[in-house]
Structures are given as structure tokens and as C-alpha cells.
Amino acid sequence: MFLRRLLTRIATTLVTLLGVAVIVFAVIRIVPGDPVAMMLPPGATEADIARLNAFYGLDKSIPEQFFIWLGGVVQGDFGTSITTRQPVLGLVLSRLPATLELSVMALVIAVVLGGLVALTGTRLRYTRTEGALDVANGMALSVPDFLWGLVLILLFGVLWPVFTISGRVSPNLVPEFATSFFLFESVLRLRFDLWLDLVQHMLMPALALAIPLAAIIGQLLKQSLKETMHLDYVTLARTKGYSENHVILREALRNAVLPTLTLIGVQFTFLIGGTVIIERLFSYEGLGNMAIDAVINRDLPLIQGIVLLFALLFTLVNLAVDLLYAVLNPRLRHA
């Protein structure tokens, strides 16, 4: 039963990814802009251009190009970046950890902030504090992540420069690690100086990504907590002598989290999408920043590789949410 569900899931994921690949492949070839012409110095001959076009397979028809590309992908070859002349897979994988670390950090901040807002709002419901929190939450919600990025740069980069707002790590600290998960590996290697430097770089972009999501989580979780607080089992727990805090945390929270969880999944994929602009804004060397360069340079193979990876990430996030939902909901676990 579980196996069948998993297989169906994998199959739909593959179809989705294929669809994404087809669309991206077609779109980036239809929009104007010739990658080869952009790469060559002015005054290159027709012959030069033709030679490079042939080298990258751009002289063939789009369907032909697609099947050649797909044939490579199946064997783990995502082609060669036009601008850097390096294998796309290697490039993309070298940047992926930076983006993952940033996204996960943003998610953690969002969940903690949003959770605190919801719990405080529930604990202090019907008071003025609740109203104030609601207003603040609404403001956080109505400003998109990149504007928060600009605000944070102005505040903590310019007016009161306590955080580094550019790059991923200080140049003198760039580590020689086995993976590019610097934040993670620096903890394993007990390099706390490096860890602190990474966090300092990451905090502002992560916060910019996190604030809108925190607001959404805060709003939905509070709504759902307030509804749960009226349920009979919560009332029954009160008669047992339990305090308001206890009742919120042990009786209501776990049931209230379920509807929020699905939303976090969807929103987290938006957040990952948001890294593209935020990384650019903070010159953070991640996948998103690389994606913008790739688009500017019409680096077709690289764009395809990045988009496919993003799509894969999104589906994995959704899968993780489904699994977590099943774990948290006893009704599904036993079904």
C-alpha cells in the first residue's frame, strides 16, 4: 500500500519534471538572444559562429536538441555551460548547498518567528497585545521578500552596519571543505569562527526571505489555534487543572499545526523561488545568483540545469511535507 503510493508519487514527479524540462527548453530557445553571438568578441566571423553553434548543438532543430539533451540527462550529463565551458551538473551542484542552507535557515527563522507570533497571540487573545501583533503581522505579510531585503540592507548594512550584507563568507575564511555545505560542515569540524562568519552573512538574506513566510505561518497557525482552543478536549483538559499555557502547548498546538503544515510546504517552495532575487541582492553565491547570470548570458544548458534542479527541489519539499503530515496525524498513520 505504502509502496504503491510511493511509486505513484515517483512516477508523477518524473512526469512533472519532464513537462518542466520541455517548457523551459522551448521557451529559452524561442525568446530572442543568441548565446554564441554574445560570447564571441565583436568581429568574429560567420564561420566561427557556425563552428560554436555546431559545438553546442544549437544548429539542430529544437526537438532534436531536446532529445540529445534528454539522452545526456538520463546518463547524468546535463551538458556544458556555454559561458564557463564547465559541465552544468558540477556547476549547479557546487552552488546548490549555498542555496539550500540559505533556504533552510530562512525556513527555520520563519517557523520560529511565526510560531512565536501565533502562540503569543493565542495566549494573549482578546487583549491589546493580540491586536498589535495582528497589525504587525499584516504589515509583514503585505511587503514582499525583496523589499524586506532592501529594508534590511538599508538598516543593517548602511545605517547601522552590524551585519555583513554581501557574499556568503569572508574572503580570508573561504574553507577547503569536502562539501559545499559550509554551515553544516563547519559545525562538524568545530570551526565555529567560520560558522559565525557564515551566519553573519546569511542572517540578513535569510531574514528577508523569512519575514513574509513567518507572517503567513503566524496568521494561519493562530487562526487554527484559536479554533482548536474551543474544542471539547481542550475544555476537558482545563477541568483537569491545567494552565492556559499547558492547554495551548499540549492539547491544541499539535492539532492546530496540521493545516499549517501543508501551507508551509507550498510556501517553502515560493521561498526557494525567492532566493533568486534575494541572492542577487545580497551577492550571495548560490544557485539563484547563478541563475540570473545564466539568463543574462543566455547560457541555455545552465538555465535548463538550474530550472530542472529547482523543479526537483519543489517536488521533494512537497513529498517531505506529505510524509511529515502522515507522521503527525495518527489517523493517517493507521489507515
Partner 1 sequence: MSFLKIRDLSVILRGTNHRLLRGVSLDVGATEVMGLVGESGAGKSMIGKAVLGILPRSARIVGGSIELDGVDLLTLPPRQRRHLIGQKAALIPQDPLTALNPARRIGPQISDRLVDILGWDKARARARAEEILHDVHIPQPDRVLRAYPHELSGGMRQRVLIASAFAAEPRLIVADEPTTALDVTVQKQILKLIFEMQARHGTALLFVTHDLGVVSKICQRLTVLYGGLVMEEAEVGAFFEAPRHAYSRALLAATPRHTDPTADLTPVPEAVIAEARRAVAEADQRWHA
Q: Which residues bind partner 1 (CB under 8 A)?
A: 126, 231-233, 235-243, 246, 251, 254-255, 328-331, 334
Q: How far is the CB of 219 from partner 1 (least distance, A)?
A: 21
Q: Given the complex with partner 1, which of 50 and 236 has the nearer CB atom?
A: 236
Q: How far is the CB of 118 from partner 1 (least distance, A)?
A: 17
Q: Given the complex with partner 1, which of 57 and 259 has the nearer CB atom?
A: 259
Q: Given the complex with partner 1, which of 85 and 333 has the nearer CB atom?
A: 333
Q: How far is the CB of 273 from partner 1 (least distance, A)?
A: 32
Q: How far is the CB of 233 from partner 1 (least distance, A)?
A: 4
The 3-class SS string of the chain reads CHHHHHHHHHHHHHHHHHHHHHHHHHHHHHCCCCHHHHHCCCCCCHHHHHHHHHHCCCCCCHHHHHHHHHHHHHCCCCCECCCCCCEHHHHHHHHHHHHHHHHHHHHHHHHHHHHHHHHHHHHCCCCHHHHHHHHHHHHHHHCCHHHHHHHHHHHHHHHCCCCCCCCCCCHHHCCCCCCCCHHHHHHHCCCHHHHHHHHHHHHHHHHHHHHHHHHHHHHHHHHHHHHHCCCHHHHHHHHCCCCHHHHHHHHHHHHHHHHHHHHHHHHHHHHHHHHHHHHHHCCCCCHHHHHHHHHHCCCHHHHHHHHHHHHHHHHHHHHHHHHHHHHHCHHHHHC
Q: Given the complex with partner 1, which of 126 and 160 has the nearer CB atom?
A: 126
Q: How far is the CB of 247 from partner 1 (least distance, A)?
A: 10
Q: Given the complex with partner 1, which of 13 and 255 has the nearer CB atom?
A: 255
